[in-house]
Structure 1
């Protein structure tokens, strides 16, 4: 193993340990000594890669953002329609949040808006929803010719609410739960002739996008028990 490979593995181990520590105790109560111990490295090795706790949190935010953006981009790029892309992107993001503790921790830290640059993935998700609804309107696939001013906010708030609820019960981010959400919503959102073509459970694109984001983004999956 080369020096560069060892350094990359150490960094990944530290991020995984930091994600676990932040999720257990929150940012303020998390201890660098516990993170280095969990990662199996010395305190000096931790500080070689990350100057302080804020730097670790920023790295988690950045890795989560890259993975989520890549998954959304891939799901959007392979779409058949804007509404199906919206469904697929939501499934891809939920899949990432289920499978990667690094993404979950980074998402939470970005949404808290503390100890960092102000990156907010919840706001980015709302912008993504707005864009896809606008594209759906242009395609003529919405039940209404133009999405109302509050529709994107309602959709974003509903799906983000599942992430909040999943912190105590991972079932809220399950594919089954999200599919049920779209089964209820799509009949009021989509034009009748479009509805029959939509798959509320997502297409293969959604799972492929989350897999690609984990693989190419070098984001470790959860080291704990597998989530549903």
Structure 2
């Protein structure tokens, strides 16, 4: 059995510390006010160690943006449209309380201001939503003319706009309510009557489903 290289393990841990510290600093200060000195101090590493892993602050920001999905634990209970709803509500709650996840999403939204053009974070969510929509198709929950991949991309755009509006309007306090409203309008366009009758458009932690 191969043994792990202690130096490699230490390098992986250091890189992870830097990414997590950077996420906190970017969220607290914004990209432009966040300095390499602040990030290295937050991570508890030297600036030399930071530059060994990332050549520029922009490279750190891009890694935080890419890592946003690793900062959350996506629920895997259920199937089909109810699971998609539950995942959307879960992500909304994480945007309210999870600094690391919120930083990654913020950088994805603001990337044009820092010289990045990278849709991979958005595409990653579209791919995850597409997988769940395929389940919904297998369960017979989708209308015949719904294209699962196309709707996954529409959903990412609609969700992103909704969370941004909520952030500007209320500091994301009402994000969960806005996501519920979004889905109340989206569902009739994609779900069969039978599916609509049993779906719950509310967070699954709010109260037991009847």
Say if 1:64 and 1:106, in contact at 8 Å, map to a contact too: yes
After the TM superposition, which of the residue ranges 40-49 and 192-201 deviates more from structure 2?
A: 40-49
Say if 2:40 and 2:46, in contact at 8 Å, map to a contact too: yes
Would the alpha carbon gap of residues 140 and 55 (structure 1) be closer, same or farther in structure 2, given more than 3 Å must change? same
Number of the residue aligned with 2:71: 67
Q: CA deviation at 1:188?
A: 4.1
Indicate whether 1:130 and 2:134 are aligned: no
Say if 1:57 and 1:115, in contact at 8 Å, map to a contact too: no
Which structure 2 residues correspond to residues 86-97 of structure 1 after superposition, within 5 A?
Answer: 86-97=84-95
Q: Looking at both structures, which has the greater relative contact order when contacts are Cα pairs under 8 Å and sequence separation is at least 6?
A: 1
What TM-score do the two structures reach when normalised by structure 1?
A: 0.64
Number of the residue aligned with 2:146: 147
Would the alpha carbon gap of residues 153 and 55 (structure 1) be closer, same or farther in structure 2, given more than 3 Å must change? closer
Q: CA deviation at 1:46?
A: 4.5
Say if 1:165 and 1:172, in contact at 8 Å, map to a contact too: no
Q: CA deviation at 1:129?
A: 3.0
Q: CA deviation at 1:122?
A: 1.4
Number of the residue aligned with 1:159: 159
Superposed CA deviations along residues 181-205 of structure 1, whole A, max 9, x for unmatched, are: 323433443222222221111435x
Which structure 2 residues correspond to residues 37-186 of structure 1 after superposition, within 5 A?
Answer: 37-38=41-42, 43=47, 46-47=50-51, 52-68=56-72, 70-71=73-74, 74-75=75-76, 78-80=77-79, 82-110=80-108, 112=111, 118=118, 120-142=120-142, 144-148=143-147, 151-168=151-168, 169-173=171-175, 175-186=176-187
Q: CA deviation at 1:165?
A: 2.4
Number of the residue aligned with 1:225: none
Q: CA deviation at 1:137?
A: 2.9
Number of the residue aligned with 1:35: 39
- State the distance in 1 between where 2:190 and 2:39 align: 46
Would the alpha carbon gap of residues 117 and 153 (structure 1) be closer, same or farther in structure 2, given more than 3 Å must change? closer
Say if 1:133 and 1:152, in contact at 8 Å, map to a contact too: yes
Superposed CA deviations along residues 84-128 of structure 1, whole A, max 9, x for unmatched, are: 121112122222222222112223334537677946221222233
Say if 2:146 and 2:190, in contact at 8 Å, map to a contact too: no
What TM-score do the two structures reach when normalised by structure 2?
A: 0.68
Runs of at least 5 residues in structure 2 that lack an aligned partner in the other structure:
1-8, 206-210
Superposed CA deviations along residues 151-178 of structure 1, whole A, max 9, x for unmatched, are: 44432221111232244321253x3332
- State the distance in 1 between where 2:95 and 2:192 align: 30
Runs of at least 5 residues in structure 1 that lack an aligned partner in the other structure:
205-228
- State the distance in 1 between where 2:180 and 2:30 align: 31
